[in-house]
Each structure stands twice: as C-alpha cells, then as structure tokens.
Amino acid sequence: MTILVAFMSCNTKKSEIEAFDELASHVDSAISPGDDFFDFANGKWFAQHPIPASESYNGLWRMIQDSIDDAVKHICEEAANTQAAEGSNKQKIGDFYRTGMDSMAINKTGISALRSELEMIDSINDIVSLASLVAYLHTIGCSPFMEAYIIQDDMISDKYAVYLMQGGLGLPDRDYYFDNDLQTMEIREKYKSYLTDVFQSLGSNPEEAVSKTDAVMKLETSLAKSSRKLEDLRDPFANYNKIDTIKLKALVPLFDWPAYFSTANISRPDTVIVGQPEFYTNLNKELKATPLGTWKDYFRFHLIKSLANYLDDSTYLQNFRFYSTVLRGVETPRERWKRVVSTTNHELGELIGQVYVAEYLPAGTKEKLLEIGQAIKSEFETRIRNLDWMSTTTKEKAVAKLNSMIFKVGYPDKWKDMSALKIENDIYVRNVIRASQWQWNDMAAKYGKPVDRTEWVMYPQTYNAYYNPSNNEIVVPGCNILVPGYERKMADDAILYSIIGGSTFGHEITHGFDDQGSKYDEKGNLSNWWTADDSIKFFAKTQMIVKQYNEYTVQDSLHINGEATQGENIADLGGIMMGYEAFKKTQQFRVGNKIAGYTPQQRFFLGFALGWMINLRPEALMTKVKTDVHSPAKFRVNGPLSNMPEFYEAFSVKESNAMYRNEQERIRIW
C-alpha cells in the first residue's frame, strides 16, 4: 500500500530538503524555458517515462491515480475477504469487487446477462411503447435518444428542474459525423465496423449486420445534424428554454412523455428545460421516418456499447478496439483489477470514500486546503478592487459574489444513504446495473424536494475539483493534497501554491467569473449583474483569450478551439496569477532561498508545469481537442505563462523567445 503524503507544515527549513529534488529532476535543460516552458519543465520526465501500452496518457495524474487505485484496491480486497453482514458497506464493496474479478463467471454468462433488457427491446411493437424503454435504459447507465437529468434550475437555484438535452450519439461529438479530414473519415469507418461486430454478436449474418449498421449510422447522423457544436453549448441563456408539458408534448408529439417520466421515477413535472429545441423537433421527425426495426437495433447497440466494459472478454474487446485503441491510441487493456477498481470506485465511491478519508488522508488535510483556499480568495478580492477596467458598481457585486462563495474541502460532512442499494454475489454487470439504478433514483427523487446544498458530486478520492455556479461553491476533494515525489517529505510552498493555490482554488474561483460563471449571481441564479459598459470590456478581454488559443497548433493542422475552451483558459490564467500573488506572501518567497538551484519564483512556475505534467497519445490528443472544453496540458501551461511578466522575469524571457508576447498582447482579466 502506498500513500502519497504531501501535507506537512509549510514552514520549510532548508536543511530538511534532501539533495534530490523531484521538480529539478524533470527539467530538460536542452530546451530554453522561454521557448517552451512545458517541455523545459517536464521533458526529462517524459523521456524517461514512455506511456504504458495500457494507457492513453502518462504523467502526474497517472501517478496520483495509481496511488489512489492502490488505496481503493486495498479497501476492495479487504472487504472481499471479510464475511461482512448482509447490507453493510463492506458487503456491498466486497461483492461488487468479487463479481468483477470473477472472469470465469463473466465469460461463461456472456451477453445473456442482459437477456431481460434484450427481451424488453424485442417486445417493443410500436412507437408509443418506446418511451418506457428509453426511460429504463437511462436508469441503468445507458443514454440513447437524448440526455435527461435533474439539477438545480439555472434561473431559480433553490429549485430542482428536469433538463432535456441533446445526446444519443455513439461517436464522441456531433462533428465526428461530418468532418472530412482523413483521420475522422477513418474513425467513422472503424465505428461502423464496431457496429457491425455488435450486430453479428447479437445473431445477425454479415449481410444483415452491414445493413443494420448503415441504418443506425443514418439515424445517428441525423441526430448529430440537429445537435449544437461544442462552442454553441457554452451560452447558458441560449441553452435554457423552459416550457410547460403541453408545449413539450407539442414539441415531440410522437413520444409518450408521461410514460417516460413514470418509468424514470420522476414525478410528473409541470415544466422542463429543453436545452436545444431543434434537436427535439428532429427527434420527432425521426420517430416518424425511421422504421421501428432500426430504432430497436439502435437501442440494442447502445445497450451493449454502454455495458461492454462489464461483459465477457469478446464483447469487451470489440468495444476496447474502438473506444480505447482507435479514439485514444491505447494498445492493450489494463489489468482486470485496475478496471474493476475503477468501476467499483465509480459506482460505490461514496462508500469507499468513508474508508479512504479515515485511513488514507493525512490529518490536517482540510485545514491545509482551507488555508491555501482562503489565501487565494483574499488575493482575488484585492485584485477585483484594483482592476482598472471595471466600474465600482460591478466591482461591488463581484466582491459580494466572491465573499458569498462557499468552500467545500476534503470530504462531505454527511454521507449519502445508500442502504436501499442491494449488491449481490451473482454477476458483475447486474451489480453495475443495480448501482446505476440507485444513482439514477437518487437523482430522480430530488425533483420537487428542497435543494440540498451540502451535496458533493465528487468523492474525496477524486483527483479533481469543480465550481458549481448554482451553489456559487467550489469543491476540492481531499486527495488534491497529494503531490507525487514528495511522499513523506514536504513539498515546498512554491509547489503547493502553484498546484493547489493556482491550478485548483485559483482556477475554480475564477470559474465563478469566466464567460459562463460571470452570468450567475451570488445566489447562483442566471442573471446579468454587470453594467453594460463593463460587459463590453469583459467580452473584449475574453475575445483576446479566444484569439490567443485559436492560434495554437496542437498537431498537424489541428488547432485549439479557442471559443469552446475559453472558460477553462480564463480560469487557468486567473488561477495562476492569483496563486502567484498568494505565494508572494509566504515565508519561502520572502526568504528567497534556492532549492536544487531554483529560486522560489522559478520553483513556483516549475510547480505549475508539474501540475500539468501530462502527455497524451496522438489519438487521445485529437479526441481531446475535438470533445474537451479544456486545452491540452502544454497550452494550459504555456498559454497563461506567456501572459505573465512575473514569469518573464523569473526565467529571463526575451523577445527572441517563442513564448514572448509584446506587452499590449499580454492579457490580464482578473
């Protein structure tokens, strides 16, 4: 069992730092820091650590995930080896994990483990009964037809609302159905081969399987055509269309909405929020135009695709070859235990988290996270007050929003009650389905109830963080304290203030003030609190960000989508600037001693690059650029730093360096 412990006191004595320094050991000194800081800071590590055949990336996140996986594995194995009381957390974790590791039973049962679902699809004999099927599939972790969920109403944050969004595609984004570059065309062909394989496994002969594939592909292409582009999903106003159920019926008259809500266990809503009405208009058209047989093939395919990870080896490998090898360049499957640990943690993370917090998080994690978070928050306030482009009226509102921002750190105060979930010692995929049903019902039951603002949507052992505009809150799970390479000795504040201060708290707080977050007020409601003049100035600044990132080439002719990634890029820039300001107040900065040859300033920027030390396979990089609102790691480092005079100073960046920007091109928003 390895535990990565980064937390200790922040008052570092020089003598405590050992001669070997993780940060310095990653530096590739053949590269000039002003030309490509990301490669300068991480190049040596990348050269020494090729991406494993079973992974799509390597780097800091992999190391942290490996250490979390080790901890979760230990928790799962311990539970599986215990005779635990029926219905106890241990029994659930143990049986879930045990059935996942039982490859003999999984292979013997094969697709027949989904017999009841396949029979349900077979028995559909008209368009009307299709709505219940869609609902049932949604409850078991498949999402064909559309995307439906219950979250806080964007306009009334103390009420839950039913959201109906575009969805139902098997390829990662609508653009994959239309882009005509060679790579995308090849991906489309391979996707079709995967569909054909699935239909053959379900009993079609090769000819039938091909014709089913063509029909399903035609249907999905139509859904894709009526779907909005990634960047067009950013405007929360444009993707908020509240209608009553009479209008919903008029929008998709061929779909039995009461049957859908009833099977989905959602009490009949008066209103729903439709994200993209044109998508629903087209759904109705396809309900009429597409033969029922094709719809049934579409549902069969989506059922198998969504649950393939938990089925027999042959079904799993068909899916792996497309979604992991073609889309992410992964050569071989991960070991079974890693896959099962990841699924158990995903489905039962709330139960595993309780053990993780007690046994694996260093004491004082919450306090240290809060200390850094508060330091960043107070810097943010100073910066808002000193902005030269914003009026006092808007500043006051921005400060009010900042001051009412809630921090949730470490782990939740109360755990969710999962006593209604039954996990059996039978077959793996059935347990995955039971857990998905529990998750769905937990969500569905919220509708009509008061909003629970104490809820977490990440586990303490999730290495990530989020800003939720509806609650005006940032949530930082406990494991964010981990810094690999600094186990059992301390990471210095330069590292903690760049990764935890800048890239975590600073980044998430800035989300409250990015192109989307700035549209929500201090109470979490979508409303414009900006003066018209300040809005125009803010927009001009965000457009500069869009332009800067549009100009970055990722590989070959692939560019960053500056429009779609702007919120994350704004957060990256604001985060690291705030992190730096807070770091300036630490003792390490003031004393100014070098560690392993680097000044505190230099170590701060090296720490920032360490936080994004991630290298992806080319296939995964392409998929990321086309589907993810985050820029690739290199640009999350070089982009913000190219705008920071403090970075220029720390590494003597000159006009002749590739990252250099003229003063008037450098952006500072917050």
CB of 567 to Zn ion, least distance (A): 7
CB of 636 to Zn ion, least distance (A): 10
- Minimum CB distance to Zn ion smaller for 117 or for 572: 572
Phi and psi of 559, rounded to 5°? -105, 160
- Alpha-carbon distance of 12 to 27, in angstroms, equals 23
CB of 54 to Zn ion, least distance (A): 27
Region of 51 please: left (phi>0), alpha (psi -120 to 50) or beta: beta
Q: Determine the interface stretch with Zn ion among 217-225, 394-402, 410-418, 560-568 (rule: CB under 5 A).
A: 560-568
Give the long-range contacts of residues 39-45, CB within 8 A, separation 24 or more.
Answer: 39/634, 40/609, 41/605, 41/606, 41/609, 41/610, 41/613, 41/637, 42/609, 42/610, 42/613, 42/615, 45/613
How many residues sit close enough to Zn ion to count as binding (CB under 5 A)? 2
Q: Determine the interface stretch with Zn ion among 156-164, 414-422, 517-525, 565-573 (rule: CB under 5 A).
A: 565-573
Q: Determine the interface stretch with Zn ion among 158-166, 288-296, 411-419, 561-569 (rule: CB under 5 A).
A: 561-569
- Residue 555's CB is within 10 A of a number of other CB atoms, namely 11
- Minimum CB distance to Zn ion smaller for 71 or for 669: 669
CB of 480 to Zn ion, least distance (A): 13
Per-residue binding letters, 519-558, with Zn ion (x by CB under 5 A): ----------------------------------------
**Over 590-615, what HEC string results?**
HHCCCECCECHHHHHHHHHHHHCCEE
- Minimum CB distance to Zn ion smaller for 436 or for 542: 542
User: Looking up tokens 């697709």, which residue turns up?
Assistant: 111
- Minimum CB distance to Zn ion smaller for 568 or for 619: 568
Q: Quick one: tokens of 661?
A: 């920007």
CB of 509 to Zn ion, least distance (A): 11
437 CB contacts (<8 Å, ≥6 apart)? 139, 140
CB of 566 to Zn ion, least distance (A): 11
Q: Determine the interface stretch with Zn ion among 92-100, 122-130, 566-574, 659-667 (rule: CB under 5 A).
A: 566-574
Task: Give, as ranges, the residues between 175 and 214 that touch Zn ion (CB under 5 A).
Answer: none
Q: Determine the interface stretch with Zn ion among 159-167, 440-448, 562-570, 640-648 (rule: CB under 5 A).
A: 562-570
- Minimum CB distance to Zn ion smaller for 266 or for 499: 499
- Minimum CB distance to Zn ion smaller for 300 or for 636: 636
- Residue 205's CB is within 10 A of a number of other CB atoms, namely 9
- Minimum CB distance to Zn ion smaller for 171 or for 571: 571
- Alpha-carbon distance of 60 to 394, in angstroms, equals 39
- Minimum CB distance to Zn ion smaller for 39 or for 568: 568
CB of 465 to Zn ion, least distance (A): 8
Report the SS3 class of residue 138. helix
CB of 466 to Zn ion, least distance (A): 7
CB of 297 to Zn ion, least distance (A): 38
- Minimum CB distance to Zn ion smaller for 190 or for 630: 630
- Alpha-carbon distance of 460 to 419, in angstroms, equals 20
- Dihedral sign, Cα of residue 511, residue 515, residue 521, residue 523: negative
C-alpha distances in angstroms, 202 versus 171, 195, 430, 448? 21, 11, 19, 41
- Minimum CB distance to Zn ion smaller for 326 or for 499: 499
436 alpha carbon, distance to own chain's centre = 18
- Alpha-carbon distance of 419 to 350, in angstroms, equals 12
Find the DSSP H helices in 226-335. 245-251, 257-263, 277-289, 292-307, 313-320, 327-328
Contact 458, 477 (CB under 8 A): yes
Task: Give, as ranges, the residues between 23 and 52 that touch Zn ion (CB under 5 A).
Answer: none
Per-residue binding letters, 424-463, with Zn ion (x by CB under 5 A): ----------------------------------------
- Minimum CB distance to Zn ion smaller for 141 or for 639: 639
User: Looking up tokens 């482009």, which residue turns up?
Assistant: 389
Q: Determine the interface stretch with Zn ion among 128-136, 419-427, 532-540, 571-579 (rule: CB under 5 A).
A: 571-579
- Alpha-carbon distance of 569 to 573, in angstroms, equals 6
CB of 511 to Zn ion, least distance (A): 6
Per-residue binding letters, 627-656, with Zn ion (x by CB under 5 A): ------------------------------
Parallel/antiparallel/unpaired status of strands 473-477 and 466-468: antiparallel
CB of 470 to Zn ion, least distance (A): 16
| Binding residues vs Zn ion (CB under 5 A) | 568, 571
